[in-house]
Chain A
């Protein structure tokens, strides 16, 4: 039975209307437009008549080595950043969840990077990554390795540029996930720990058999949000590396912006965003399925 449109649901729909209108206007409509435009020859401010070119743009971008590299970079980024950032967030949350005086200061400090805009953070980190022995990170590494570290130009090295961006992203994003984990941690009943202690569990066992299982839903939420965010990687690339060197840091969103706004090829950029949307949609559906299966079992 489909009860969605029953008359006593009307109030519900009415209340959802503002949000649904916003979603439709700012997400649904632009996506629909992108989908339509991706089949045309549209260029920004071109006086040529609009013609339909079919799947041409899709065929081209899927053969374009730079776009494929961008997809691969996004994938590598997600594979590394999602577990690393989630792990860091959990660690931080465990650290600041202790009931010690002054903990609020630490929570604020760890959360601080989240509230700064990425543009600002990127500029600051560019200074930290400065090459040569005067760069902060280079000199710290030199000190830690007793002078064995050779100063690197992180952002212009094709093997170090993407990892360098990953580090910034993890540092910036972990604070937000930490807060989510903190909420999850504080939701776990103290009685469970008490029972575990009575059973003689040490603190590692308490974490593994009480904390971690209780955080399952929080973890799933954090992982899916981080995955989506990590696919949206753009600001850092735009400011720190412009996709270089040798396309080592090009991402799908960066390539789409470059096509649409730098080269005025709106149709090509639209096709890229559609491909990107489909990938993120698949990932989200996959993760939703994981979550729902979990709930059924639990």
Chain B
């Protein structure tokens, strides 16, 4: 009996302790400041520089507008989207959300975002690069905007290209045609020790392959999905144009033109003359190659040179208590000074024309001006459908198969079939009214 008594005594102590802890924790919570409108913000914790700029922006906004208080939470990038998804399921999303571009359409489908058309000042909207509006729009409403966009192109080593006697294009309009590009590779390979003259960042993973290589399908006249209804894929993704483009790409691998680039140094060590990559490599490439560095458009597969676009975006939660305050904060992020501070640290293309005009890299005559021209004329936004998660995953798988020598037609057909099946399973991603 004695032991039982002691047990009860311990249990009672434990319950008391738990109660005390609960009480003290709830007692410590600070009183909400009733006179301020609180705006909660979630963002991905990017590189150190980006993080600092964002925190500075928040601090400046809070100082400038004493009536508002922005609470910024930074979440690690690796699991960022899944954390957002779980918060969405439990209706715990903050007022302002940052997310990677292609996820936008899923959030709109889930009714998580509200349109920005009337919330953002018209002047700000008119100042954006067309690519930002293209990517942020769904069902004729603008749901998300970014502080910057991305640029995809080909960096060339001037010395190596000149040594091989190659014409270098200067704008999107005189990009190498696919056949001409094959000759370029051939000429370069003839002068190269191991014949590998092209860096496709084959060492990258995941989204890169869709972002970087769907433009060649689009340049040939195909696409990842039929954008007239977003229901069919077979005719565009496994059509003869797409098959031709991907067969050409497979041929580059089979001819040994592509450097596996495991050390990610193929271009800076001048093992290759051409590097197919985005704006983010500019600082490193410029430092190593100096005057030898040049920026070129991607090859033209028949319908003009195309390129990818899209980066991180900001949207406002459909449940935001104070959408106007949230929009105020977004507008402050989109001021030219904020955009320039951000793009100075991450090197991306500024999202507005005003900021571009002031950016040393992207203004008229700047070394990366081509990226701006491309975003104006020839960039293709990722398909604006919630099916994008499936599209990109199956395309990556198809790309892996094609790169390793599989039958191109068959690989693309399987990818298209998987996409169409997912769309059918999801009832065409029909819009579902908010419950």
- A→B interface (CB under 8 Å): 41, 43-48, 66, 130-132, 153, 156, 158, 242-247, 258, 261-265
Which of A43, A244, A261 sits near B426, CB closer than 8 Å? A43
Give the shortest distance, in Å, between A49 (CB) and chain B (any CB). Answer: 8
Closest residue of chain B to A246 (Cβ to Cβ) is B404
Task: Kindly identify, within residues 412 to 435 of chain B, every residue whose CB is under 8 Å from any CB belonging to chain A.
Answer: 422, 425-427, 432, 435
Please tell me if the beta carbons of A246 and B106 are within 8 angstroms of each other in the complex.
no
Please tell me if the beta carbons of A263 and B422 are within 8 angstroms of each other in the complex.
yes
B422 CB contacts on chain A under 8 angstroms: 263, 265
Is B228 among interface residues, defined by CB-CB distance under 8 A?
Answer: no
A45 to B425, CA, bound (A): 14
With A47-B111, A131-B260 known as contacts, the answer to whether A242 contacts B205 (CB < 8 A) is yes
A291 to B147, CA, bound (A): 65
* 8 closest Cβ pairs, A-B complex: A245-B404, A47-B432, A244-B400, A262-B393, A263-B390, A263-B393, A246-B404, A45-B85
A66 to B432, CA, bound (A): 32
Please tell me if the beta carbons of B393 and A242 are within 8 angstroms of each other in the complex.
no
Please tell me if the beta carbons of A48 and B110 are within 8 angstroms of each other in the complex.
no
B106 CB contacts on chain A under 8 angstroms: 45
A153 to B259, CA, bound (A): 12
Closest residue of chain A to B262 (Cβ to Cβ) is A130
A153 to B427, CA, bound (A): 43
A246 CB contacts on chain B under 8 angstroms: 400-401, 404-406
Please tell me if the beta carbons of A264 and B389 are within 8 angstroms of each other in the complex.
yes
Is B82 among interface residues, defined by CB-CB distance under 8 A?
Answer: yes
A46 to B109, CA, bound (A): 8
Chain A to chain B contacts (Cβ below 8 Å), 23 pairs: A41-B425, A45-B85, A45-B88, A45-B106, A45-B110, A46-B109, A47-B110, A48-B427, A48-B432, A156-B260, A242-B400, A243-B400, A245-B401, A246-B400, A246-B401, A246-B404, A246-B406, A261-B82, A262-B389, A263-B389, A263-B390, A263-B422, A265-B390
B403 CB contacts on chain A under 8 angstroms: 245
Please tell me if the beta carbons of B404 and A48 are within 8 angstroms of each other in the complex.
no
A66 CB contacts on chain B under 8 angstroms: 397
Is B18 among interface residues, defined by CB-CB distance under 8 A?
Answer: no
A265 to B389, CA, bound (A): 10
B262 CB contacts on chain A under 8 angstroms: 130-131
Extra pairs beyond A153-B260, A263-B393, A265-B422 (14, CB < 8 Å) = A131-B262, A243-B397, A243-B400, A244-B404, A245-B400, A245-B403, A245-B404, A246-B404, A246-B406, A258-B393, A262-B393, A263-B394, A264-B390, A265-B425
A278 to B93, CA, bound (A): 38
A258 CB contacts on chain B under 8 angstroms: 393
A262 CB contacts on chain B under 8 angstroms: 389, 393
Which range holds the interface residue count of chain B? 20 to 34
A153 CB contacts on chain B under 8 angstroms: 260
A188 to B390, CA, bound (A): 57
Give the shortest distance, in Å, between A161 (CB) and chain B (any CB). Answer: 10
A46 to B432, CA, bound (A): 10
Give the shortest distance, in Å, between B383 (CB) and chain A (any CB). Answer: 15
Is B122 among interface residues, defined by CB-CB distance under 8 A?
Answer: no
A46 to B435, CA, bound (A): 13
Give the shortest distance, in Å, between A14 (CB) and chain B (any CB). Answer: 13
A130 to B394, CA, bound (A): 27
A45 CB contacts on chain B under 8 angstroms: 85, 88-89, 106, 110
Interface membership of chain B positions 203-227, coded 1 if the CB is closer than 8 angstroms to chain A and 0 otherwise: 0010000000000000000000000
A242 to B425, CA, bound (A): 26
Give the shortest distance, in Å, between B113 (CB) and chain A (any CB). Answer: 13
Give the shortest distance, in Å, between A62 (CB) and chain B (any CB). Answer: 15
Please tell me if the beta carbons of B406 and A47 are within 8 angstroms of each other in the complex.
no
A247 to B400, CA, bound (A): 9
Give the shortest distance, in Å, between B190 (CB) and chain A (any CB). Answer: 21
Closest residue of chain A to B392 (Cβ to Cβ) is A262
A44 CB contacts on chain B under 8 angstroms: 85
A243 to B400, CA, bound (A): 9
Closest residue of chain B to A46 (Cβ to Cβ) is B426
Interface membership of chain B positions 367-403, coded 1 if the CB is closer than 8 angstroms to chain A and 0 otherwise: 0000000000000000000000110011001001101
Please tell me if the beta carbons of A156 and B426 are within 8 angstroms of each other in the complex.
no
A264 to B110, CA, bound (A): 14
A286 to B412, CA, bound (A): 41
B426 CB contacts on chain A under 8 angstroms: 43, 46, 48
Give the shortest distance, in Å, between A81 (CB) and chain B (any CB). Answer: 24
* Central interface residue in B400, B401, B435, by most chain A CB within 10 Å: B400
* Central interface residue in A132, A246, A261, by most chain B CB within 10 Å: A246
* Central interface residue in A45, A131, A258, A264, by most chain B CB within 10 Å: A45
Give the shortest distance, in Å, between A235 (CB) and chain B (any CB). Answer: 15
A244 CB contacts on chain B under 8 angstroms: 400-401, 404
Closest residue of chain B to A157 (Cβ to Cβ) is B404
A131 to B202, CA, bound (A): 13
A243 CB contacts on chain B under 8 angstroms: 397, 400
A245 CB contacts on chain B under 8 angstroms: 400-401, 403-404
